[in-house]
Structure 1
């Protein structure tokens, strides 16, 4: 068959599937409009969610996108406005703010209705013209929840389907064994390896939590009914997502096949996946122990502990905190003389095996580093494809799950100014979560109105029976990931039931004096090549070994005895418990004040920073199932599995314990301002990772607000948005570390004229704001491009040059396993000079890095008084002149590093293309991709709100 005839055949198949049926039948589109709910925002609420609301595409729309780049309606219509703010924020006004954000008011004006319809008699869904988002109004509560499920499936069904399988560890069986699919299902299964009985038990436990618990389960069940109603109608009408054809689940011509209905336990799986990804902290204790051991080996215990203390930055006196009003909230700190710490034997630790019995393509190693270095292409039409399979291979040739989905990220950011410091006298907030850039977006927009519920905003697709981040009638709220330590590592001694000698591979362990078998939870994945998958057939088993103290993550020896290291998470077996707090957020009768909101947030066991505003008050609360540990336990280290070191009140049967009270959680009302960019919550609260130290990206927000308030200025929605946007295009290293590096260099003249010129380039960039912005909109060339390239090349060389000679290679590399050295917009590095370890186009940057560690060490070398620093610098062995030479030598090496090495290129970009290396790419979970947009360090869903009145 010729290429032309094959292409015609593709369209013939697509036409059978997609004949005019890209939406529900027209007869369903003319339901009467409901009366809008009370709204006290006065058109002063705005939001945005790129790339767009719609995440479903029919088979014919997938073909059109792959061949010609066309996009389904509302799949990308918020991307340009989001992109534009990076270039135009400085000229923003109250009259132009709606050019960059959507109207976040309740209801839809009659002239803005795109369609209205009733999926069943007790609910009306209205879609607006601007975003296509659903405004759902139920005459019954069940109808409201049913409508939420129906609308979620309309917009994001395939995404929801893939995610429920990712959480169960069964993506490969569903969509093929591509390396990305396998890598992600392994990661998520390892975090929450539940049986179906345990998933159901979570639902049963919530149902017994009083009236709200019973109502939550009824809401969830009605929501699932709505999802399944859409699945049935869409399948019958042939307007279901085209990916089901591409994955071979439905025949394009006969319509035979099946979209598996959703179950309530699928919602628990999604909650577990999202909670593990965004709402936990800790679990890095084995890596911490290995790094400390290497420091002890190099320097001895006393000096090694001094260096660890500075690197760890557990309670760095220079760290900014969200709470800065004098309150102190101790949590997660190491005692001076800890007990029960377990030190693994050097070189003995191995990761727990997860994959067993691989056959076929499963026997190929999943190389995460290689995938990081070369992400897949997302938006390349294939008009010269030879046949249908080749055309569709653009959808799933690398899997349905992008590697970036599993990358830890912060939910940033929040800027809130109390009414005492605003032009209007009402609090102003600019806040939103950073959930990554995906196509479709993990979040979905909605308005929910019905008995006991009145809200509008964003929710994770598949969890949208409540609005998770958004606004009520006269209040708004948002969150950032907090990451305080709710995960501990216990060390269990391995044994054999017959009393024989144990090995590190033994599958029994000592629990309170008895040798008991580990519990295993298994998933079997088997796949055949499907229509859009080039991966050969294969299969494997995933096996999680579980103990009373949680899943096994590592094995090794301690004093020669074989042990297993396990992680127990306080939210393990309890992810769905947070449903009650979210239910309250949506209930106008439950939230009538800032303290009501804080109390509701306390019902959420995930580790989030919550921010709230109404017309009078601004508030903050740090949620999480914060366990009460024995005072002698160091939560940053592996702990002996002894009852003396277990959480207070811990019940191993259901993983419950004693938790910190409301009063012990960081919280505040009407502090002058609040910022959060995943920084330290409050003085006394330890971070689970050592990035919350002397230099943190939160500094970019904090000083911009603090300095204006100190000068007597006030804020409005525009000026607060501008603070966010300017910080979002600023290189943290240039603003907060480079000035001190230049101070040390400037202690003597730079003799080499060429090197002196490069130093001046860096100085000019820093003095001009250290921003990564285009020369003009759309130029794809940065201002100060040469200086930016120099910094990107210099940083990994600088960090290694400053620290490795003194630390020694084993300790330096071990510390980079605890905290990678850099997370710049163009990628992240983990210790190797000049190596671009990952170039994920992820948008969010500068969360992780040795920024504070470099800053402190350079200032110590300069002779500054550095709170929390060492007595003498590691750089240059404590000699300032030698440290200065390290800076110059590494800078000279960076200056001759070709752009092609600094920005090595990938499937998205040519090597050496600086702007492209930084650019944001929406990673595909399905068949629709989007254009690259300029980098900005900004939330993916964002609200700008100011309430002029209240109930």
Structure 2
């Protein structure tokens, strides 16, 4: 991105000279009072939030030049700085306090947009529902027009045509074309079918989209006349913003929903892991070993609710409809020409989602690092019921993690008018409704669920490689092409070029792999329940914003049940807390495996599947994990409920999960009749945000197995790790007051030891027992986790990393040696030392010695940390720079992007 910024600097200075002269001020008219309401109208109070780095996303060419030349930030582009930490969370009450009005405009007669001086948040008041939507679109354009343009092009898999042909942009196009390829007709069909599928509610959503798009276009028209309204990045690309269309909204929804709201779809990979284990151990023992690592339904896994909600409980090894790939037959065809960063081998063995992400600083590269490699598994929320709160009213701390962007990929808005009383965050470009926030006297949030709404069907080929059998007919696959072309610009010096991305679609979904099954040629197609239905979730968001609909926890559950993406939704009002797990989850054909490919010949389709409308009969409302008013609730992307099975691509719902870090804090606070205050709940989140799960949850069992070593180097390392554990296992520097420069962590030596040791520990514990093939195969779905010694600096999320596998295996070893209880649902074998305590202990001690030989330069000295090789640099949270303004990285925190603290004390009449 540095080269991009240099080019932007040159261009911005030139453009700024032109802008320094008189500029017409055409735009929205100054607003009258209209429907504007006084501060706090219809708001019960007790709502606060924070959205770094700030609300503003507009940097016109003059502001861009000022930043590039002098480091001067545009107003509200990064408000939340270190000197504001004592505030933590800002007031999120409806409206603006007297004296805090910065501007008031009316882009149309039925809407007024008022912005506050403090943070620049748009408060939108409509006298009509269309006016509210028009204002939401206009405000979205004001705050995020260029980012919205990036996202709509990324959603259409044409980022390279918009932002240049860099390897990263082209890789982003490949990922999107592999998960949500649509023709313009496909996108329009989602709009056309809304009324058919959902009646008047669907018609209302289409009207909302139409008025929302009109608001965006009104802002674009104003910006084309008044350059101070136009983001400077357009000039850098040599482009102007083009009119928005309703299908652009659908395209962006497909990008966000296709990544954040799904789970599963890796049945072929899982089958390859099983086959590798069967080759190593034999059929029966191989299946047992696969079940050990799979953690499909581990009774020790921490869950959000304690009530069982059985789902996908069929045997993984059921022969009904089975279409297991023949060993060695599978290849993964690329949807485009080879990229400079990939090899022909990678193209054959990886899908676009699994290939290495280019590190060229392009927008596409940064999006991939955030959307594919990172934050979908970092949201959390924690709620405490009224009976366990010190105030006698329910309290909550909650928020989604979607990455850190400049400008932020979420925007804040405050919407009021017929059918609207809501304030909070939404993705720009689809911000028709507040997606995460609060209503009059209630608040809601979400975490990504990862539950299984994607399956693999094996299409039996006929005639040639692009025809397949379905219900007795030999049907042609549909070929979908995306043609992209690019030319050099100030931000991308990639030579002119073009390419065509191609993917094939069957009645079930998208072909992502080919091979044979039982000797027959097959194409493996990915079927996602939300494909062709990414826009349908608008129904649920509309109801969350409507004070007439959401009047309590049960109505909240009904509202979010209309959201077909897989999310864990939380709710709090003065008297209640609630939870509902949303998503369209298929009811599979009787007796079929939920873990491996099934035949796509028709008789094993999902229940109620209609290929014409891409609809199913999903799991009914009450079968979804849900709860109202338990003692407390926590979700950090953990398992939802007992017997709610982990999706086929999820090998990490075992006995150790990071939600325990928050849950343990709450349990301690409530022990012996204790009551929690909101500041304690903030601390529960905040403490866990810097903890290393390997220290907090795993060190005690690791220490027991290591025993008392004779080698003083190992003994010293154990003492160092022990001290870190006793101090909370944090990765933080409490002495550093300059957040723009990484300090040195307290317990830095222990952290360095653990980071170097972890991959060596896993290798020593499991590799000898399972062999090369299975050990390597398992890492395709169960990576070692972050930090990655010798890899690129990346903040760890501690969601995935063999934590449960290590815990259960070593506790089983200790139990076999008479040194502890047997784990619930123990493994079929002990892997460490092949069951020998002495051999395991020796292997772990030797692996720790090998880790001690690693230097900080070897562990951390990559990328931006070449000259500062230490964990605090390696962990830094960095910003995706989706424009010309950049912000320095900040110290590691594993916490949400947008966050609310909620402590309402009353309910309001409707």
Task: Determine if the TM-score, normalized by the shorter chain, exceeds 0.5.
Answer: yes
Residue 350 of structure 1: aligned partner: 331
Cα pair distance change 1:360/1:650, threshold 3 Å: closer
Partner residue in 2 for 1:102:
90
Question: Residue 292 and residue 12 in structure 1: after superposition, are their counterparts in 2 closer, same or farther (change >3 A)?
Answer: closer
Whole-angstrom CA distance in 1 between matches of 2:703 and 2:755: 16
Residue 61 of structure 2 is aligned to residue 59 of structure 1: yes
For the pair 1:405 / 2:386, whether they are aligned, the reply is no
Pairing partner for 1:288 from 270, 291, 310:
270
CA distance in 2, matches of 1:229, 1:620: 39
Q: Secondary structure at the match of 2:112?
A: strand
CA distance in 1: counterparts of 2:310 and 2:700, whole angstroms = 33
Shift of 1:440: 1.5
Q: Report matched runs for 1:864-943 at 5 Å.
A: 864=820, 865-907=822-864, 910=867, 912-943=869-900
SS in structure 2 of the partner of residue 711 of structure 1: helix
Residues 446-595 of structure 1: pairs in structure 2 closer than 5 A:
446-496=413-463, 502=464, 506-595=465-554
Distance 1:197 1:7 in 2: 40
Structure 1 residue 695: Cα displacement:
0.6
Identify the match of residue 256 of structure 2 among 250, 258, 274.
274
- Separation in structure 2 between the aligned mates of residue 494 and residue 883 of structure 1, nearest angstrom: 49
1:142 maps onto 2:130 in alignment: yes
The alpha carbon displacement at 1:64 in A equals 2.8
Q: Map residues 309-320 of structure 1 onto 2, 5 A cutoff.
A: 309-320=291-302
Displacement of 1:560: 3.1
Distance of 2:364 and 2:528 partners within structure 1: 32
Contact 1:246–1:531 (CA under 8 A) maintained in structure 2: yes
> Alignment partner for residue 840 of structure 1, among 791, 794, 800?
794
Which residue of the partner structure matches residue 772 of structure 2?
Answer: 809
Q: Which residue of 2 aligns with 1:709?
A: 670
Instruction: Give the structure 2 partner of residue 678 of structure 1.
Output: 637
Inter-CA distance 701–848: structure 2 relative to 1 (3 Å threshold): same
Aligned residue for 1:261, secondary structure, equals: coil
Specify the alignment match of 1:666 in structure 2: 625
Structure 2: how far apart are the matches of 1:23 and 1:724? 46
One of 192, 199, 208 as aligned partner of 1:204: 192
Residue-by-residue CA offset, 1:33-63 (whole Å, 9 max, x unaligned): 8223765665421101111111121122223
With normalisation by structure 1, the TM-score equals 0.89
Aligned to 2:610: 651
Distance 1:25 1:141, change over 3 A: closer
- Please tell me whether residue 854 in structure 1 is matched to residue 834 in structure 2: no
SS in 1 for 2:743: coil
Deviation at 1:907, TM superposition (A): 3.7
Give the 3-state SS of the residue equivalent to 2:834 in structure 1: helix
Asked if 2 retains the 8 angstrom alpha-carbon contact of 1:22 and 1:58, the reply is no
Q: Is the contact made by 1:334 and 1:636 (CA closer than 8 Å) also made in structure 2?
A: no
Summarize the Cα distance change of 1:7–1:638 in structure 2 as closer, same or farther, 3 Å threshold: closer
Answer whether contact 1:373 1:839 (CA < 8 A) is retained.
no
- 1:192 paired residue number: 180
The answer to whether the 8 Å contact 1:629/1:646 transfers is: yes
C-alpha contact 1:345 1:558 (8 A) present in aligned 2: yes
- For the Cα contact (< 8 Å) 1:376–1:907, is it kept in 2? no
| Structure 1 position 657, deviation (Å) | 1.3
Which has the larger displacement, 35-44 or 151-160?
Answer: 35-44
Contact 2:29 2:106 in 1 (8 A): no
**1:361–1:284: structure 2 CA closer, same or farther, 3 Å change rule?**
closer
Tell me how many residue pairs correspond in the alignment: 884
In the TM superposition, residue 654 of structure 1 has moved relative to its aligned partner by 1.6
User: What is the deviation of 1:526?
Assistant: 1.0
Alpha-carbon contact 2:371-2:402 (below 8 Å) kept: no
Aligned to 1:794: 757
**CA 1:49 to 1:139, structure 2 compared with 1: closer, same or farther past 3 Å?**
same
The match for 1:218 is: 207
Which residue in 1 is equivalent to 2:725? 766
Contact 1:418 1:673 in 2 (8 A): yes
Contact 2:669 2:675 (8 Å CA) reproduced: yes
Pick aligned residue for 1:822 from 762, 785, 789: 785
TM-score (norm 2): 0.93
Change (3 A) 1:35 1:630: same
Secondary structure of 1:818's match? coil
C-alpha separation in 2, matches of 1:533 and 1:128? 37
User: What is the correspondence of 1:313-462 to structure 2 with a 5 Å cutoff?
Assistant: 313-324=295-306, 327-335=307-315, 338=318, 339-356=320-337, 375=359, 401=367, 403-407=369-373, 409-410=376-377, 412-462=379-429
Does the 8 A contact of 2:543 with 2:549 survive in 1? Answer: yes
For 2:891 and 2:521, the matched residues in 1 are separated by 51
Tell whether the 8 Å contact from 2:346 to 2:355 is kept in structure 1 after alignment. Answer: no
Q: Is the 8 A contact 1:41 1:947 kept in 2?
A: no
- Distance in 1, Cα, partners of 2:354 & 2:293: 29
Instruction: Give the whole-Å Cα distance in 1 for the aligned partners of 2:865 and 2:163.
Output: 24
Matches of 1:404 and 1:41 in 2, distance apart?
35
Counterparts of 2:82 and 2:866 in 1: how far apart (Å)?
20
User: Residue 639 of structure 1 aligns with which residue?
Assistant: 598
The equivalent of 1:265 in structure 2 is: 247
Query: RMSD of the TM alignment (CA)?
Result: 2.6
Shift, 1:816, TM fit: 0.6
- Asked if the contact 2:357/2:365 (under 8 Å) is kept, the reply is no
**Residues 706-725 of structure 1, C-alpha deviation per residue, up to 9 Å, x if partnerless?**
23223321111111000110
Helix, strand or coil: the match of 1:454? strand
Deviates more, 1:68-77 or 1:676-685: 68-77
Q: Secondary structure at the match of 2:500?
A: strand
Per-residue CA shift, 1:774-824, capped at 9, x if unaligned?
A: 04033711000000010011001111111111111110010010111213x
